Structure 1
Amino acid sequence: MMERSKIAPGHYIPPVIVATDPGNERYDGKEVSPVKLATAEPVSTFSVDVDTGAYANSRRFLSQGALPPKDAVRTEEMINYFRYAYPAPETRATPFTVTTDIARTPWNADTRLLRIGLRGYDLPRKERPPANLVFLVDVSGSMFSADKLPLVKTALSGLAAELGPRDRVSIVVYAGAAGLVLEPTNDTRKIREALEKLQAGGSTAGGAGLQLAYQIARDNRIDGGVNRVILATDGDFNVGVRDNKALIAMIEKERDTGVTLTTLGFGTGNYNEAMMEQIANHGNGNYAYIDSALEARKVLTDEMASTLFTIAKDVKIQVEFNPAVVSQYRLLGYENRALREEDFDNDKVDAGEIGAGHQVTAIYEIVPTGAKGWIAPRRYGDPVPAASTAKANELALVKLRYKLPDGDTSRLIERVVPTASLRSAGAPGSDMAFAAAVAAFGQKLRGDPLLGTFSYADIGALAGKQTNFWRQEFIRLTGVASGITPD
């Protein structure tokens, strides 16, 4: 009789699951951002991103026994799925705090990691503005499976339970055509009954559904409140307005009226993630992928305030590195959020939003001047400007621009990162180590060659022991990835 194999304590052995074919799923991935020479391009500018869909979607693939497509992974959404130890604002004069720290890079002894963290103020339930929400639910035939419409019902029923007496919800559905199935109400029982009656069948007139949902939102607008459409779908539009550019143009027009858009993605096989992420960005909202009832609760109950209540809009980050201190750098993620340098001061350029209690994290990998970089020294390279040498005590200048939710003129925050923090940088502490581990995980799933031999096992070890459920799950996922593709 064969002896049962023994498993060492603390080791995670993933279950054997037959991987599913992603089929016609659509993604709009970008190449890993290139290395920049600080003498030639000292300034890096990007819009913030608080979406988390890429992480939950990647988890879905790993849970099914397959690595996610590289185009499905956005490193910034992996990092921003988790919360970090950033201090909350002491007052609301500025809607968020700005934190910077530096540590040695776990996968490259010659570089350092610069982390920039934003943390929005919390909004107690009694202070939340009234919400006018339109649930826009895809009930087409493609939504029939258990991970689609049934999960949509669970997710939106949970959100309905969080409503206050001043809030109201309407429900619009679409399949071959669009229709209003629930007039505005804050009666949780009526909302849940209307959701429970929904059935899937027919083609997908998503464009018509969006048009009707926006009309209902406008007709029931709450001045000074939250006016938002919440779209729940697999993104498989096949009737009416289907072109992404046409959808985006319509959504931007509605955005300018004060109605924002949150997209919740569901399902597998025909999932159109490219559209879901893009239209949420242009709708001044956010994008999440719901792969389980637990994720639904996290996004729509535990993080409801962050999901729905905006405290700052058009938030941009610009970092100017001092070439006398930093010779090369690269930003981990945010490829599809990159802005031109001149966009930073242009208040006409749209950027990301931050909700109550939201956190945003960006991580740069930098090469200190004199250390070995990714790009070899150039024979005819640009000399370090005298102005940079004169400010050798400054590593970088971090600038942020943002507008208040009802404002049209941006406000500026500036923070100098001192060179002394580079000299004193040690191995990343527990919070920074976990952020670095998640960043490395995202980059490795994308095939980043600059991670060298840093393995999934190394990433799991870097993350360290965790007590938080979601962080523990992350560590298990690194083990799953290692099992699928042994390092």
Structure 2
Amino acid sequence: MERRTRTYRGAVGLLLAGGVLLTGCSGGGTSDRSAAESGKRAPAPAPAATGGAPSTGGAAEEGAKAADRAEDSEGLREAAPPDYLSTFALDVDTASYGYARRTLADGRLPGPETVRPEEFVNSFRQGYHRPAGNGFTVSVDGARAGEESGGWSLVRVGLATKAAPAGAERPPAALTFVVDVSGSMASSDRLGLVKTSLGILADELRDDDSVSLVTFSDEARTVLPMTRLKDHRGKIREAVDSMEPADSTNVGAGVRRGYEEAVDGHRKGANNRVVLLSDALANTGETDADAILERIDSARRDYGITLFGVGVGSDYGDAFMEQLTNKGDGHTTYIADEEQARKVFVDQLPAHVELTAREAKAQVAFDPKTVEKFKLIGYEDRKVADDDFRNDRVDGGEIGPGHTVTALYAVRLRDGASGHVATATVRWLDPKTRAPHERTGSVETGAIDGELWGGSSTRLQVTAVAAYFAGRLRGDGLPGAPGLGELATKADELARKTEDDSVAKLATAIADADRLKGGHADTGTGEGEGEMD
């Protein structure tokens, strides 16, 4: 799409997101009809206690811009009156967390610029209620962050789509694989892992699905034109096995050729995707993500072909891959071994191939009568101008079946505040009809009154640990954040309670980070660190 306000690798923005938004939301949430059902484009909910309207320009817009420029003593942006709105494109990327785990396992700390807190949070199951049909549900909860936080609470806004039933029929897929065969891919955990992954996928796809294969090094070439799986699985495996590492990395040439093949093999009514598998270390040809995608813009617009990025390798061009897929209306993930490849290409295949929603955005309106301050954790490169929430030409997120999206906010309530805290709206377009839909919900102070570590849900605690971990890796002063050693202990306890192997791996990653930092340089919330003023 045409424009989104982005600040790649901006200063930190903060914490947890309250569950607000849709049908079935807790904490006194309410639900409105969708825009398509009502035939009207109702305004986004205003802060209920004031009866005011969302920012539409003028002084409010200037206040928002001023707040964006202003930073507190810890380098954390915060919203300032009169702008009590938070608007962002939905994001289901998880590559940042996957790459951080790989880097820590290799004995290195990830660069702070590669750590995106929303991708850490979105890497874990949340247990949200899911809708019976298309669209989203929104869950709302939260908790007080503890005495060390300086009076901050965590509010979680959770959105979920309906999972594809096991064995359910789906439209056929037409997938164009664009594989990096440059010299940097010449190892078992790169090109070798890509070959394994495509072999797994060839077994998983259905007879009526189609695939094509493009490889690139200094130049791009078509190894296999669009081919139906039926009666051709052996031919496809031979094409995959024939790939060998070559020279430099011309990602631009590979993506352009990939989209040409995707257009040539486009199937009406199918899920048409370009899947880029690479370490994203572009060093030849066009190396600017926007410029690369601009050259195939008509293919994306006219044919609705989206880009799914799969990252590999211990040295990985994280920022470049993320920019490519953001511009390509897609998302990214990262795989380090065959277990993760099976998770992506078998367990999560419908979510990566199908679309439930296009141009999905969320807008949260905080109530200035109860809320003194709020901060969104992460989403720096997914920010959307408040005025553009209902501008469907402005880029949003593409969401598949079974996806969940969590936004975490740090919220400081006014002394003695009681009642309405926030109203949130999610907006998306139907992927087939392009008709807009919205759902709305709200959260009250009673829903965020419990203690985080004392009695809140285990899934909220996992979410908090993931966000705090990302903050520690980035050097952020998140309110009430335990040190890495304490976080590792909490994650280990949560892994036992949830019996969730992914949480156990989170505990291992935090322990690895604690050892690399010396086990003493990050022991807890220092004096004044809980304040974000």
The residue matched to 1:310 in structure 2 has which SS?
coil
What 5-or-longer segments of structure 2 have no aligned partner?
1-6, 14-75, 524-533
For residues 456-479 of structure 1, the C-alpha deviation after alignment (integer angstroms, 9 at most, x for no partner) is 122223333321211111111111
Q: Is the 8 A contact 1:444 1:451 kept in 2?
A: no
Q: Residue 308 of structure 1 aligns with which residue?
A: 353
Is residue 2:420 matched to residue 1:364? no
Pairwise CA RMSD: 2.0
Instruction: In structure 2, give the amino acid aligned to 1:108.
Output: S
Instruction: In structure 1, give the amino acid aligned to 2:180.
Output: D
Is residue 2:253 matched to residue 1:208? yes
Q: Residue 175 of structure 2 aligns with which residue?
A: 133
Task: Tell me which moved more, 232-241 or 160-169.
Answer: 232-241
For residues 217-237 of structure 1, the C-alpha deviation after alignment (integer angstroms, 9 at most, x for no partner) is 111111111101111111123
In 2 relative to 1, CA 208–35 (structure 1 residues): closer, same or farther, beyond 3 Å? closer
How far off is 1:210 after superposition?
A: 1.4
Query: Quick one: distance in 2 between partners of 1:357 and 1:76?
Result: 17
TM-score scaled by length of structure 1: 0.86
The counterpart of 1:121, out of the listed 149, 162, 166, is 162
The counterpart of 1:170, out of the listed 212, 218, 222, is 212
How far off is 1:367 after superposition?
A: 0.3
Q: Is the 8 A contact 1:29 1:71 kept in 2?
A: yes
Query: Quick one: distance in 1 between partners of 2:494 and 2:445?
Result: 31
Q: Residue 342 of structure 1 aligns with which residue?
A: 387
Is residue 2:434 matched to residue 1:414? no
Alignment of 1:183-262 (within 5 A): 183=225, 184-186=227-229, 187-257=232-302, 258-262=304-308
Q: Residue 438 of structure 1 aligns with which residue?
A: 466
Alignment of 1:139-150 (within 5 A): 139-150=181-192
Query: Quick one: distance in 2 between partners of 1:251 and 1:46?
Result: 25
Query: Quick one: distance in 1 between partners of 2:458 and 2:478?
Result: 23
Q: Is the 8 A contact 1:347 1:408 kept in 2?
A: no
Query: Quick one: distance in 2 between partners of 1:69 and 1:239?
Result: 24
Identity of matched residues, %: 36
Query: Quick one: distance in 1 between partners of 2:448 and 2:494?
Result: 27
How far off is 1:150 after superposition?
A: 0.5
Q: Residue 110 of structure 1 aligns with which residue?
A: 151
Task: Tell me which moved more, 74-83 or 188-197.
Answer: 188-197
**Number of residue pairs matched?**
439
The counterpart of 1:478, out of the listed 485, 497, 510, is 510
How far off is 1:38 after superposition?
A: 5.4
Is residue 2:199 matched to residue 1:157? yes
Q: Is the 8 A contact 1:38 1:321 kept in 2?
A: no
Q: Residue 461 of structure 1 aligns with which residue?
A: 489
Query: Quick one: distance in 1 between partners of 2:222 and 2:168?
Result: 30
Query: Quick one: distance in 2 between partners of 1:406 and 1:453?
Result: 43
In 2 relative to 1, CA 260–196 (structure 1 residues): closer, same or farther, beyond 3 Å? same
Query: Quick one: distance in 2 between partners of 1:156 and 1:413?
Result: 38
How far off is 1:37 after superposition?
A: 4.7
The residue matched to 1:203 in structure 2 has which SS?
coil
How far off is 1:171 after superposition?
A: 0.7
Q: Residue 311 of structure 2 aligns with which residue?
A: 265
Q: Residue 140 of structure 2 aligns with which residue?
A: 100
How far off is 1:424 after superposition?
A: 5.5
What 5-or-longer segments of structure 1 have no aligned partner?
1-26, 372-388
The counterpart of 1:331, out of the listed 364, 376, 394, is 376
How far off is 1:163 after superposition?
A: 0.6
Q: Residue 429 of structure 2 aligns with which residue?
A: 403
How far off is 1:242 after superposition?
A: 2.1
Greater RCO, 1 or 2 (C-alpha within 8 Å, sep 6+): 2
Instruction: In structure 2, give the amino acid aligned to 1:472.
Output: A
Instruction: In structure 2, give the amino acid aligned to 1:62.
Output: L
In 2 relative to 1, CA 159–439 (structure 1 residues): closer, same or farther, beyond 3 Å? same
Alignment of 1:55-66 (within 5 A): 55-66=97-108
Query: Quick one: distance in 1 between partners of 2:398 and 2:486?
Result: 34
In 2 relative to 1, CA 133–482 (structure 1 residues): closer, same or farther, beyond 3 Å? same
Is residue 2:13 matched to residue 1:30? no
